[in-house]
Chains A and B, each alone.
Chain A
């Protein structure tokens, strides 16, 4: 027994010694390399299968497409595209620049794009972003809404030369070239098709970074590709993306000097982030808008007059106060249905919503009464309670509405346990009142903020709003080859959304990030992702 006890104490002593040894080294791994927080991607890392920020972050470092959105302005600029020509907004001829290769040496050709797009569109490959290819002719054969596919490749895609291919769309879509900066349209090397499992373990692309190692669920080490042919070479030696279980831990690690960059400052830390980090905290507008959507499949919300109720509710929400107290100015009160990152040329129009988005409790109450009162006598705002700070702002919105209407029980929150269940209830049209809706743009186009959300039966029109005037204006805008005229038509369509108050705009979301003293030139792009290749390490 005595011996056993000695052994125990020795073990404890050894543990303690090991503990002290563990905490010595600092954050940086190699000179010029920095670490950044990451979340585990939800789906396998394939360009057409990635629809969330964490996976998109990596693909943006490893791939370059025909176009690239300028990290500052959001404008779609040619990257691999030498030219994209059209005469009728429906048939496009694409020429790929010469001299580009994948990091394994294989040249990037027209075929690299056409193969990748055909793979992404094919139902057999289960790609979550397949609908991005829905504009291309033949999509309904490759990806039918039901039944089995009758073709393997899109009939609208044709390789016409080593560096040229043609695209034929199912309908006119003048801003189609500007959508090609989206990661789903990235080219893929032969290795992707020939050794798919290996490729997923270590993706090979044509961007400024190489994947050096990838331990799923833990870390991905990216290193600068020295032979990268593009103009936007990495200004650092590499990035180590570390998966964090919780954004609070990432933030704590940043404060302790074990992490260089955290692009997800937790809501609970927003109050002290300025005193903690000083000038090393940035918050920049992102292409994200949050709204309250309504279930138009419920007849109580679809009868004439309810637009007055919805407008009244919009006027009952004190956006300034909520963005100030709950979000500490990381959100900006919305006054239209797009995002400031579009810029005024791109279609953002401050104040398009007008009085309907201004806090006016007196008129709010009158409008709700004129519209016949709240359907069912009470408003239940449905949201998912598992992530973000949805509970806080939904409660605040309800408080604001209750105060304006002078009724304590006019509005209550209706939490749903998980995001999956929340999406499930939305998909099954089970909403009985307004519900949380968030839209993160796929590409910085006004079209992307309106068509998927409000066009009849569009992919993200969760409330099933339908308006003939709106649909007509969108069709006309898509057929318009002059960009300014197209934007003007989209804004007219947005006016229709406003007059019917199809959804209540709440606020534009900013991206925010904090970084260590080792870094300089840190910025966020309009997708709220750090511009990794421009970051300098001291």
Chain B
């Protein structure tokens, strides 16, 4: 197990460098960001040159990347165009997004698995059909439609919640946005759990467990669910990174100043430092989440062992 973890951690290094280099190249291909800094008019050449020097844009790309990576290892993620440190932006942007992601994941786990178990155990019954239909609707409707609709109904028409989230972005305020963010994944979790459960219900070890006379609750939670959760855990694990990075739409709709918002601004303003900084952290989150998922397999299914 220990060796496996070390090997996985070592594998992360090339992935990390590759991903950051790719983002760096992609943002640079978009052109000279200084051109957009002076509004509709052209920056005067002297100021533009000075700004380019200040942001290190006058150096060759490989050198920019090398300096950047060097700084990252000392915890310096550079400065955004508005003069703010990128680390400062991260300190304000990550907490709300992490809270939002946790709310979304809780919804996925609790609601998704619960619905999956219910439908998986009652296949073909009205409950099953209804939930299946509902998940189909959720999957096919784009997030921004669900988001705007909920915002309008709950926030404006009925007045149950506030349409926008305050700067504090407390967990309470994030329930509706979290549900919107989770909606599509939630539907997938339900369907995955259902299928996996229905498949394993007919397996030998479940029959044995039932034959041993174990109570139904114990058969389902200890034997059936535990084995059926492997694909679900894989999905949720990879979803953590996707949710954090993909919150752009949800964050925009509900006025959450999180990672998605900063990334969006960074891309619009072609701010290499912001975009690469945030993506670097997201890549790390993704890698760690994947590692955790792989380690969880062994806990769920003792047959899986890492040499």
Chain A residues within 8 Å of B, Cβ to Cβ = 1, 8, 11-12, 15-23, 40-44, 51-52, 123, 126-128, 130-131, 143-146, 200, 215-219, 243-246, 248-250, 252-253, 255-256, 258, 386-387, 417-427, 437-440, 452, 459-460, 462
A254 to B230, CA, bound (A): 46
B124 at the interface (CB under 8 A from A): no
B141 located at the interface, meaning its Cβ lies under 8 Å from any Cβ of chain A in the complex = no
B307 → chain A closest CB, angstroms = 30
Provide the bound-state CA to CA distance between A143 and B152, in Å. Answer: 52
Question: Does the CB pair B89–A420 fall under 8 Å?
Answer: no
Q: Which residues of A lie under 8 Å from residue B172 when comparing CB positions? A: 15, 17-22
- Asked whether, in the complex, the Cβ of B256 is within 8 Å of the Cβ of A245, the reply is yes
Residues of A within 8 A of B32 (CB): 420, 424, 427
What are 24 inter-chain pairs, A to B, with CB distance below 8 A? Answer: A1-B221, A1-B222, A8-B110, A12-B110, A18-B171, A19-B172, A20-B172, A43-B37, A123-B46, A123-B47, A128-B38, A143-B46, A145-B44, A250-B164, A252-B164, A253-B255, A256-B159, A418-B267, A424-B31, A427-B35, A427-B42, A439-B40, A452-B41, A462-B42
Tell whether, in the assembled complex, residue B269 and residue A460 are in contact, meaning their CB atoms are under 8 Å apart.
no
A218, A245, A425 interface centre (most CB from chain B within 10 Å): A245
Q: Is B170 an interface residue (CB 8 A)?
A: yes
Binds A, one of B2-10, B79-87, B193-201, B234-242: B79-87
B172-201 contacts to A (CB < 8 Å): 172-173, 175-176
Q: Determine how close the nearest CB of chain B comes to the CB of A455; give it in whole angstroms.
A: 13
Chain B residues whose CB sits within 8 angstroms of the CB of A426 once the complex forms? 35, 42
Interface contact B167-A219, CB-CB below 8 Å = yes
In the complex formed, the residue of A with least CB distance to B152 is: A252
> Is the pair B252, A249 in contact by a Cβ cutoff of 8 Å?
yes
Cβ–Cβ contact B37 & A42, under 8 A: yes
What is the CA–CA distance of A216 and B83 in the complex, to the nearest angstrom?
11
Tell me if A130 and B47 are in contact (CB < 8 A): yes
Most buried by A among B40, B43, B106: B40
Q: A128-B47, A146-B45, A252-B156 are in contact. Are A244 and B255 (CB under 8 A)?
A: yes
Q: Which of B155, B254, B257, B269 contacts A256 (CB 8 A)?
A: B155
Chain B residues with CB under 8 Å of A417's CB are 30
Other than A23-B160, A23-B173, A418-B270, give 8 A-B pairs with Cβ distance below 8 A: A19-B172, A43-B83, A51-B39, A128-B43, A246-B255, A253-B164, A421-B35, A423-B42
CB-CB under 8 A for A123 and B257, given A130-B44, A145-B44, A420-B32: no
Q: Ordered nearest first, which 7 A-B pairs have the shortest CB separation? A: A420-B36, A18-B172, A424-B35, A22-B172, A423-B35, A44-B83, A19-B175
Please judge, given known A-B contacts A246-B253, A418-B30, whether A12 and B35 are in contact too, CB under 8 Å. Answer: no
Q: Does B163 contact A (CB under 8 A)?
A: yes
List B contacts of A217 (CB < 8 A). Answer: 84, 89, 92, 257
Is B103 an interface position by the 8 A CB rule? yes
**Candidates A8, A250, A460; contact of B41 at CB < 8 Å:** A460
**Any chain A CB within 8 A of the CB of B51?**
yes
Q: Which of B49, B156, B162, B267 has the most CB of A within 10 A?
A: B162
Instruction: Give the residues in chain B near A216, CB-CB below 8 Å.
Output: 82, 84, 92
B253 touches A249 (CB 8 A): yes
Contacts of A21 in B (CB 8 A): 172
Question: With an 8 A cutoff between CB atoms, is B261 at the interface?
Answer: yes
Which residues of the partner chain A approach B164 to less than 8 Å between Cβ atoms?
A: 244, 249-250, 252-253, 258
Q: B36–A15 contact, CB under 8 A?
A: no
| Smallest CB gap from A244: residue in B | B255
Q: Is B54's CB under 8 angstroms from A418's CB?
A: no
- Of the residues B41, B82, B103, contact of A40 by C-beta under 8 Å: B82
Contact of B82 among A12, A43, A418, A460 (CB under 8 A): A43
- CB distance A418 to B81 under 8 Å? no
A17 to B50, CA, bound (A): 54
- Interface magnitude class on chain B: 35 or more
| CA of A437 to CA of B41, assembled, Å | 10
| Alpha-carbon distance A145/B124, docked complex (angstroms) | 77
Chain A nearest Cβ from B257, distance in angstroms: 6
Q: Cβ of B221: which chain A residues have Cβ within 8 Å of it?
A: 1
Whether, in the assembled complex, B143 has its beta carbon less than 8 Å from a beta carbon of chain A, the answer is: no
Report if A420-B270 is in contact (Cβ < 8 Å); known contacts: A15-B171, A246-B253, A427-B42. yes
Do B155 and A252 have beta carbons less than 8 Å apart?
yes
Q: State the CA gap A16–B160 with chains docked (Å).
A: 12
Do the beta carbons of B36 and A459 come within 8 Å of each other? no
Inter-subunit contact B37/A460 (CB<8 Å): no
Is the pair A423, B36 in contact by a Cβ cutoff of 8 Å?
yes
Q: How far is the CA of A25 from the CA of B171 in the complex (A)?
A: 17
What's the least CB distance linking B251 to chain A, in Å?
6
Whether, in the assembled complex, B95 has its beta carbon less than 8 Å from a beta carbon of chain A, the answer is: no
In the bound complex, residues from chain B placing their C-beta under 8 Å from that of A20 are 160, 172
**Which B residue's beta carbon lies closest to that of A123?**
B46
Residues on B with C-beta less than 8 A from A23 are 159-162, 173
A245 x B251 contact (CB < 8 A): yes
**A268 → chain B, closest Cβ, in Å?**
11
With A216-B84, A427-B35: A19-B161 Cβ-Cβ less than 8 Å: yes
Q: Which residues of B contact A252 (CB under 8 A)?
A: 151-152, 155-156, 163-164
| Contact of A15 (CB < 8 Å), options: B33, B84, B106, B156 | B106
> If A22-B172, A42-B82 touch, does A218 touch B270 (CB 8 Å cutoff)?
no
Bound complex: CA of A211 vs CA of B119, how far in Å?
A: 57
Whether A243 pairs with B35 at a CB distance below 8 angstroms is: no
B1 within 8 A of A: no
Q: Which residues of the other chain, B, contact A255 by a CB distance below 8 angstroms?
A: 156, 163
Q: Which of B35, B45, B173, B254 contacts A145 (CB 8 A)?
A: B45
- Nearest Cβ in chain B — how far from A10, in angstroms? 11
Closest partner residue, chain A, to B225 (CB atom): A1
A417 to B84 CA separation, bound complex (whole angstroms): 25
Digit string of B140-151 for contact with A (CB within 8 Å is 1, else 0)? 000000001001
Which residues 77-119 of B have a CB within 8 angstroms of A? 81-84, 89, 92, 103, 106, 110
Does B130 interact with chain A (Cβ within 8 Å)? no
A1 CB to nearest chain B CB (Å): 5
Q: Which chain B residue shows the least CB distance to A384?
A: B36
Q: Is B11 located at the chain interface by the 8 A CB criterion?
A: no
Interface assignment of B63: CB less than 8 Å from any CB of chain A: no
- Interface 0/1 of B245-276, CB less than 8 Å to A: 00000011111110001001101111000000
A119 CA to B1 CA, complexed, in Å: 62
Residue of A whose beta carbon sits closest to that of B54: A126
The reply to whether B47 and A245 contact each other, CB–CB distance below 8 Å, is no
Name the residue in A1, A249, A250 with the highest tally of chain B Cβ atoms < 10 Å from its Cβ: A249
Expressed in whole angstroms, the minimum distance between the Cβ of B105 and any Cβ of chain A is 12
Task: Let me know if A19 and B176 touch, CB within 8 A.
Answer: yes
Nearest A residue to B49 by beta-carbon distance? A146
Specify the chain A residue showing the minimal Cβ separation from B217. Answer: A2
Q: Is the CB of B155 within 8 A of A131?
A: no
In the complex, what distance in Å separates the CA atom of A387 from the CA atom of B155? Answer: 26
User: How near does chain A come to B141, taking the closest CB pair, in angstroms?
Assistant: 18
Specify the chain A residue showing the minimal Cβ separation from B36.
Answer: A420
B40 in contact with A243 (CB, 8 Å): no
Docked-complex contact A245 and B81, CB < 8 angstroms? no
What is the distance, in angstroms, from B46's C-beta to the closest C-beta of chain A?
5
